[in-house]
A and B are shown apart, each in its own frame.
Chain A
């Protein structure tokens, strides 16, 4: 009896020791990767990390001091950039809308047990994988070449990516949906669209809307960035203001502030809306 426990503890301790060794080794590998990665990145960067570190606040200080001197311009500048901010928001909203609609179809078509053509589910899954993997900037730049500048290339690019990203999440939600309503609808002769519309959609709607809202937050940022590479919205204004350089820094500050406030406000409200959607705290 005592022998058995003794053997047990030695085995356990050996196991623990081995686990600790693995953990330490893993940590060492990780630290080495981080250090060498940092070294390589620092080496290939135009300016070094330690040379630049004390200059981090130079640019913000410069632009803010200039904006502070011309603070009288700021309200006017805010008004001036509101239209492009609205364009950025519109790009995000429309692409989220279209992306979410497409993602709904793709998700239902690729969910086991709900798919219209069960054999084609792997195909739709792969399609979503590829759509998710293509960065927005690739499509946006190609479309700018084809369609000229403006908000449409950015919208299509973001919607494409959104379809892939939301499709995966939507499908995970739909997988957990109760199939009983679907079976019930099937038994009374409902076709596929009716089964999905009345059987699945009411179950998944809160979670799907919550994911779509989260995506909307992400898409605002994406749409601002795509503006920077040439398709409308506030990113484009930021680029031109930066190219003017000194003398236009009050514009840069105004854009920074608008972008920051918008993101904060949208994040805040969508956070609350999502909490309400998912926790079911809707009207009692």
Chain B
């Protein structure tokens, strides 16, 4: 009797279990299948096959090369015979007249020594002699409006491209180009050029040892300033890298995040009391406020930036107001939820001593919600530092603006790299700073 009584439920149990297992097995297959199907759709919706056609791998080479190397141009104007040496061919990176790096010998002829053992000589009579290591001697000549070549071999090698008016030689670590108007040699070197001082500073082209000596006991280069201060000044005003402007921009970005987050907290805090059911009995007011918070949150930061930049113009203030708008909505929601979850006993205790509403809030409520609010604020401060970079690019302020400008010119990739490093460092610093503050305040 008892045996049969046990068997029936067991069978029922068994059939239920196996049904559940079947469902689980189905789900285990169906979910990956659905994901796969979705990804197949995405593959075509995003035109992945077309990516290969649109991708420009040569840009990757430029970008990676530029990230950690730079080139120096040695240029001769064929008409005047004038030779200039300039880093990246830029005016602000030009060596002063009559000076050149060690591998360029100026004089009647200009002799250039290249890293792979090759050498180039711009001769006073206008010819260019190239001795390419592993190949031989080349003479390149401008003849009226065309360019002629004398090669040691019958066929030109594949690293050389020749047309009537142009010769290009690309040997990896250096390049050479000759046109009727000018002869140009490019030598690639690792590092970020002129990162500390440009040539208009007396400290340019000095070694670390020399700089240390100058800073500590050397004669004043600029009689008005101690050397170390002059160095700081020249570094800060570096024309090529504009360190001063870059640090201002970083500061602007942090400022946007700080003003936006804290301003939003200050606005949302009193409003949260009005939106919490245990403080505001008026249902209409509460619901209205909640909907307003939803509206502020739902109108994306993108929309706020568009609207606000029409009113305030580009700049950091617009960015911080855009952050403020979105976060007021977020904080209003989370703060009022925190307020609804407080323990009433503490408030009642304070009330029993005869405290009025303000005192009840100050001593009964705030001590309970302060940690929640503070950790929210700090968390958003950190995350908004990152958003401020993006918003800065949209509203035209801070490091985001510099970054987009540098990327759009598609030239100064080393500067892009510099900004990226600084942005990552800034966000990580804010991250650990807000973590430190949180531990300090919430534990203590």
Q: Is A135 within 8 A of B390, CB to CB? A: yes
Distance to closest chain B CB from A265 (angstroms): 9
The closest CB in chain B to the CB of A242 belongs to B306
Q: Kindly supply a per-residue 1/0 record for chain B positions 386-402, scoring 1 wherever the CB is within 8 Å of any chain A CB and 0 otherwise.
A: 11011001101100100
Chain B residues near A29 (CB-CB < 8 A): none
CB–CB B308/A56 < 8 A: yes
The proximity string for B residues 57-94 relative to A, scoring 1 for CB distances below 8 Å and 0 otherwise, is: 10110010000000000000000000000000000000
Known: A47-B315, A145-B410, A146-B55. A133 touches B386 (CB 8 A): yes
* B42 closest partner in A (C-beta): A94
Task: Tell which of A115-123, A150-158, A171-179 binds the partner.
Answer: A150-158
A147 on interface, CB distance cutoff 8 Å: yes
Set of chain A residues within 8 Å of B33, measured between Cβ atoms: none
Q: Are A40 and B255 in contact (CB under 8 A)?
A: yes
- Known A45-B317, A94-B39, A225-B301; judge A135-B55 contact (CB<8 A): no
- List the A residue with the shortest CB-CB distance to B315: A45
Given A52-B313, A141-B407, A264 contacting B298 (CB threshold 8 A) = yes
Cβ-defined contact, B389 with A135, below 8 A? yes
Q: Are B303 and A260 in contact (CB under 8 A)?
A: yes
Q: In whole angstroms, what is the CA distance A259 to B255 when docked?
A: 28
Q: CB-CB < 8 A to B301: which residues of A?
A: 221, 225
Q: Given A41-B256, A97-B35, A259-B300 in contact, is the A47-B59 Cβ separation under 8 Å? A: no
Q: Is B416 located at the chain interface by the 8 A CB criterion?
A: yes
Q: Are A152 and B48 in contact (CB under 8 A)?
A: yes
In this complex, the interface size class of chain B, counting residues with CB under 8 Å from chain A, is 35 or more
Q: Kindly state whether residue A42 has any CB partner on chain B within 8 Å.
A: yes
B315 touches A44 (CB 8 A): yes
CA–CA, A255 to B431, complex, Å?
A: 34
Q: Is A33 an interface residue (CB 8 A)?
A: yes
- Cross-chain contact of A136 among B42, B255, B390 (Cβ < 8 A): B390
Q: Does A38 contact B (CB under 8 A)?
A: yes
In whole angstroms, what is the CA distance A97 to B59 when docked?
29
B55 A148 Cβ-Cβ under 8 A? yes
Q: Which residue of B lies closest to A53 (CB)?
A: B311
Q: Which residues of the partner chain A approach B46 to less than 8 Å between Cβ atoms? A: 90, 94, 150-152, 155
Q: Which residues of A contact B155 (CB under 8 A)?
A: none
Report the minimal beta-carbon distance from A49 to chain B, rounded to whole angstroms. 6
Asked if A21 CB lies within 8 Å of chain B CBs, one says: no
The contact string, 1 if C-beta is below 8 Å from chain A, for chain B 292-304, is: 0010011111110
Interface residues of A in 126-140 (CB under 8 A from B): 129-130, 132-138
Task: Write the A69-89 contact mask toward B (1 if CB under 8 angstroms, else 0).
Answer: 000000000000000000100
B-contact 0/1 string along A34-64, CB 8 Å cutoff: 1001101110111111001101101110000
B390-A37 in contact (CB<8A): no
Grouping DSSP codes into helix (H, G, I), strand (E, B) and loop, the B interface class, with mixed when no group exceeds half, is: helix
Q: Are A58 and B42 in contact, with the CB atoms below 8 A?
A: no
Which B residues lie within 8 Å of A59 (CB)?
306-307, 310-311
CB neighbors of A among B246-271 (8 A): 252, 255-256, 258-259, 262-263
Query: Is A146 in contact with B303, judged by CB distance below 8 angstroms?
Result: no
| Cβ of A256 under 8 Å from chain B | yes
Known: A155-B46, A225-B390, A259-B303. A146 touches B60 (CB 8 A): yes
Question: Who on chain B is nearest to A57 by CB?
Answer: B311
Q: Please indicate the chain A residues that have their CB under 8 angstroms from the CB of B410 in the complex.
A: 145
| Residues of chain B contacted by A264 (CB below 8 angstroms) | 294, 298
Are the CB atoms of A133 and B404 closer together than 8 Å?
no
Most buried by B among A134, A145, A155: A145
Cβ-based interface call for B318 (8 A): yes
Cα of A59 to Cα of B59 in the assembled complex, Å: 40
Report if A133-B48 is in contact (Cβ < 8 Å); known contacts: A44-B397, A229-B393, A256-B303. no
Q: Which residues of A contact B316 (CB under 8 A)?
A: 40-41, 44-45
1/0 per position for B405-420, CB-CB distance to A under 8 A? 0010010000010001
Q: Which residues of B contact A46 (CB under 8 A)?
A: 312-315, 396
Q: Does B428 contact A (CB under 8 A)?
A: yes
Q: How far is the CB of B252 from chain A (nearest CB, A)?
A: 7
User: Which of B56, B317, B318, B420 meets A134, CB within 8 Å?
Assistant: B420
A263 sits at the interface (CB 8 A)? yes
- Chain A residues with CB under 8 Å of B427's CB are 132-135
B326 to chain A, nearest CB (A): 9
Residues on A with C-beta less than 8 A from B262 are: 30, 34
Residue of B35, B54, B258, B302 near A224 (CB, 8 A) is B302
The answer, yes or no, to whether B30 is at the interface (CB within 8 Å) is no
Indicate whether A108 reaches chain B with its CB closer than 8 angstroms: no
In the complex, the answer to whether B255 meets A47 with C-beta atoms within 8 Å is no
Q: 13 interchain pairs (CB within 8 A)?
A: A33-B258, A37-B259, A44-B316, A56-B307, A133-B423, A135-B387, A135-B400, A152-B46, A155-B46, A222-B390, A225-B300, A238-B306, A267-B297
Additional A-B contact list (4), CB under 8 Å, known A97-B39, A142-B63, A242-B306: A41-B316, A138-B420, A145-B56, A148-B55
Chain B residues in the interface with A (C-beta under 8 A): 35, 38-39, 42, 45-48, 51, 54-57, 59-60, 63, 252, 255-256, 258-259, 262-263, 294, 297-303, 306-308, 310-318, 320, 386-387, 389-390, 393-394, 396-397, 400, 403-404, 407, 410, 416, 420, 423-424, 427-428, 431
